[in-house]
């Protein structure tokens, strides 16, 4: 595996040189910036002066590259002293490279260059043996973008040419296919088309506004979570979105988190208030409200609560990186002896949710501390004990996991649930943390059976993550087609003509009385267009109503995912089936789930 990666690295890196060489042949005056491999290929930065290139030039560059590849030019390394190196670069008018060379060699070391054909580049390698080793069809020039020299706005703006590059033509094709699918399913695109959420310049960047249809999905998830939490013995609470800074001094979050928080507000004299970046301290305040006995433990409190993080403007991305979010949070306060069972119950809940939602292969990462990094609370003994505790639970439960040092929360080990997105990139959907620190900091106690005071352990968990992150993930996973129980519109009624409108209205009323989200398409569009509209808006159930249906008090039921096939069922049976789909939360957006109709 490693070897393959190294090979791909060499391939991408060599192609970056070949691209720069080709561009130099076409534009001898161009000044070169950097040109590294990246995880989808490579890029190179160029300064074209007053005469920038266009997308239409990429073809010509690619042609030149093919020529260089055919010539099987050998890559060879040469080492030069700083003086000779800088002189050579300045002679070639490569001022960016010359500046960089000076910086690199400030220690007086020699610099390595790679040469192929007439092209020479300041570079550490490694490279292919010769340009002929580039497999046919493994790369394509992708796009042009602007980029500051060395990433700083104070420097000149360069032109970056991005290229895709994979092991071979097949792999490149596959990546392009997946990228196209991901583009079509991008939650930002679907979120706009399906009217799920919006952003507004007047409200502010990174602050999503949930539209009626998107809000349905939020509310359905919350309803589900609250039912499951109720069954699992959680109690629901509500707490404010702002708090005094004192709370975060106590928790120790301020030194770790300040950059990620909105700046403080001065309200009462001497008091700084913050929009909260996390909910934990509020829940700790509730636990600490009065003395607790061991009989009350485990004490589990949950809240779908708003939190705020100050993400940099440039890093905001749709719902995935936002400045305000609503979290499926809960905290479990328990004795040391109860940790394993509580952790197990939380794992079970995660499993239940993710299997139900068909997340497929998710990966569990056990995130541990790293004593040398200085990023974690300095209590080595406690760390090792807690980590061993979590590791044992995972092993006992037969959960497959990988360990990673340095990824823990600063107050304890955690497990991260990693799910792959469409492009195969792993995202952390949610985490569960074991905390042995905060009880002490917040002076949280309980009286044990001998009448002595002890500190509880705290579990932090958020299986359904934040609405923003989780729903963006669901949108892309399902391509916008939600199961009936979550769907913004559950049934679309399509009358074949005006003569059945009355029956349609009757059905609409019946469904609404039974709390189903139903819409009648009484537009003047053609029948075919009405059906197409229902399908593109991803309504799972389309009920077609014609004269026969009106006469027999039936509906012709077409499924969004079931193509043109339809079943005629009595209105009563239709309603019964919908009730089952909702109460059992059937995942009927998957083909293998049949309508719950009696045969
Ligand atoms: Zn190189
Ligand atoms: Zn927490």
Task: For residue range 429-472, list pLDDT tens digits in order.
Answer: 888 999 988 999 999 999 999 999 999 999 999 999 999 999 99
Determine the pLDDT at residue 1.
Answer: 38
CA of 104 to the centre of ligand 2 (A): 44
Please identify every residue whose CB atom is under 5 Å from ligand 1, which is an ion: 123
CA of 278 to the centre of ligand 2 (A): 7
DSSP per position, 4-36: HHHHHHHHHHHHHHHHHHHHHHH-TTPEE----
Nearest to 63 by CA among 143, 140, 130, 9: 140
Q: Does domain 219-475 have CATH number 3.20.20.70?
A: no
The answer on pLDDT for 374 being more than 80 is no
Q: What are phi and psi of 468, to 5 degrees?
A: -60, -55
Largest Cα separation within the chain, whole Å, is: 94
Determine the pLDDT at residue 398.
Answer: 86
Class of domain 2-178: alpha beta
Q: Report, as an integer, the average pLDDT of 364-378.
A: 85
Tokens 């490694």, residue? Answer: 126
CA of 262 to the centre of ligand 2 (A): 19
Determine the pLDDT at residue 588.
Answer: 94
Nearest to 507 by CA among 560, 569, 580: 569
pLDDT in tens, 159-199: 999 999 999 999 999 999 988 888 888 999 999 999 999 99
Q: Which two tokens stand for residue 247?
A: 């709370």
Query: What pTM did the predictor assign?
Result: 0.81
Q: Which two tokens stand for residue 430?
A: 């949610």
Class of domain 491-583: alpha beta
pLDDT in tens, 274-329: 999 999 999 999 999 999 999 999 999 999 999 999 998 888 889 989 999 999 99
CA of 221 to the centre of ligand 2 (A): 20
Determine the pLDDT at residue 86.
Answer: 84
Tell me the ligand closest to 115's alpha carbon: 1
Parse the chain into domains and list their residue ranges.
2-178, 219-475, 491-583
Tell me the ligand closest to 122's alpha carbon: 1
CA of 422 to the centre of ligand 2 (A): 29
pLDDT in tens, 255-265: 777 888 999 99
**Secondary structure element (H or E) that encloses residue 221, with its range:** helix 212-231
Q: What's the start-to-end Cα distance of the chain, in Å?
A: 52
The answer on pLDDT for 505 being more than 90 is yes
In sign, the C-alpha dihedral spanning 301, 304, 306, 308 is positive
Tell me the ligand closest to 251's alpha carbon: 2
The answer on pLDDT for 575 being more than 80 is yes
Average of per-residue pLDDT values in the chain: 91
CA of 120 to the centre of ligand 1 (A): 9
pLDDT in tens, 391-404: 999 999 888 899 99
Determine the pLDDT at residue 108.
Answer: 63
pLDDT in tens, 39-56: 899 999 999 998 889 999
CA of 392 to the centre of ligand 2 (A): 22
- Determine which of 212-216, 337-341, 374-378, 561-565 has the lowest per-residue pLDDT on average: 561-565
């Amino acid at each position: 595996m490693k070897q393959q990666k190294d090979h791909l690295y060499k391939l991408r890196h060599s192609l970056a040189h070949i691209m720069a060489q080709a561009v130099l042949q076409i534009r001898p005056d161009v000044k070169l910036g950097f040109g590294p491999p990246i995880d989808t290929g490579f890029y190179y930065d160029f300064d074209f002066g007053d005469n920038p290139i266009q997308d239409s030039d990429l073809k010509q560059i690619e042609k030149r590259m093919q020529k260089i590849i055919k010539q099987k030019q050998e890559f060879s390394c040469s080492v030069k002293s700083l003086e000779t190196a800088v002189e050579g670069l300045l002679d070639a008018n490569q001022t960016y490279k010359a500046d960089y060379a000076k910086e690199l060699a400030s220690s007086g070391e020699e610099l390595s260059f790679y040469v192929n054909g007439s092209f020479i580049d300041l570079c550490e390698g490694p490279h292919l043996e010769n340009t002929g080793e580039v497999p046919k069809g493994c790369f394509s020039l992708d796009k042009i973008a602007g980029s500051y020299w060395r990433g700083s706005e104070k420097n000149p703006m360069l032109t970056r040419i991005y290229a895709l590059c994979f092991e071979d033509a097949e792999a490149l094709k596959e990546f392009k296919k997946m990228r196209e699918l991901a583009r079509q399913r991008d939650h930002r695109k679907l979120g706009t088309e399906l009217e799920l959420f919006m952003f507004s310049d007047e409200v502010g960047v990174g602050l999503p506004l949930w539209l009626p249809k998107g809000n349905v999905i939020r509310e359905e998830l919350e309803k589900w979570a609250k039912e499951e939490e109720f069954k699992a013995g959680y109690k629901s609470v509500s707490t404010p979105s702002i708090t005094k800074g004192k709370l975060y001094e106590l928790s120790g979050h301020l030194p770790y988190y300040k950059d990620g928080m909105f700046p403080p507000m001065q309200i009462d004299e001497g008091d700084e208030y913050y929009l909260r970046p996390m909910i934990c301290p509020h829940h700790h305040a509730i636990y600490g409200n009065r003395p607790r006995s061991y009989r009350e433990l485990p004490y589990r409190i949950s809240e779908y609560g708003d939190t705020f993080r100050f993400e940099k403007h440039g890093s905001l991305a749709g719902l995935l990186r936002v400045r305000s979010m609503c979290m499926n949070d809960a905290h479990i306060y328990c004795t040391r002896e109860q940790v394993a069972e509580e952790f197990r119950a939380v794992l079970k809940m995660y499993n239940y949710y993710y299997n139900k939602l068909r997340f497929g292969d998710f990966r569990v990462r056990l995130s541990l501390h790293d004593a040398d990094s200085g990023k974690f609370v300095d209590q080595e003994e406690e760390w090792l004990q807690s980590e061993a505790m979590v590791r044992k639970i995972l092993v006992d439960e037969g959960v497959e996991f990988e360990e990673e040092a340095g990824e823990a929360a600063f107050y304890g080990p955690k497990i991260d649930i990693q799910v792959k997105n469409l492009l195969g990139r792993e995202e952390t959907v949610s985490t569960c943390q074991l905390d042995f620190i905060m009880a002490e900091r917040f002076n949280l106690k309980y009286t044990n059976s001998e009448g002595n005071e002890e500190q509880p352990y705290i579990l932090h968990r958020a299986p359904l993550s934040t609405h923003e992150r989780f729903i963006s993930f669901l949108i892309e996973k399902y391509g916008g087609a939600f199961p009936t129980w979550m769907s913004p519109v559950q049934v679309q009624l399509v009358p074949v003509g005006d003569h059945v409108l009355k029956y349609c209205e009757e059905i609409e009323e019946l469904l609404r009385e039974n709390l189903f989200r139903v819409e009648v398409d009484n537009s003047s569009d053609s029948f075919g267009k009405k059906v197409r509209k229902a399908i593109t808006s991803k309504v799972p159930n389309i009920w077609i109503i014609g004269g026969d249906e009106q006469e027999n008090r039936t509906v012709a039921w077409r499924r969004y995912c079931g193509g043109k096939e339809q079943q005629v069922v009595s209105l009563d049976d239709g309603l019964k089936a919908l009730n089952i789909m909702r109460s059992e939360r059937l995942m009927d957006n998957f083909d293998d789930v049949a309508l719950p109709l009696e045969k």
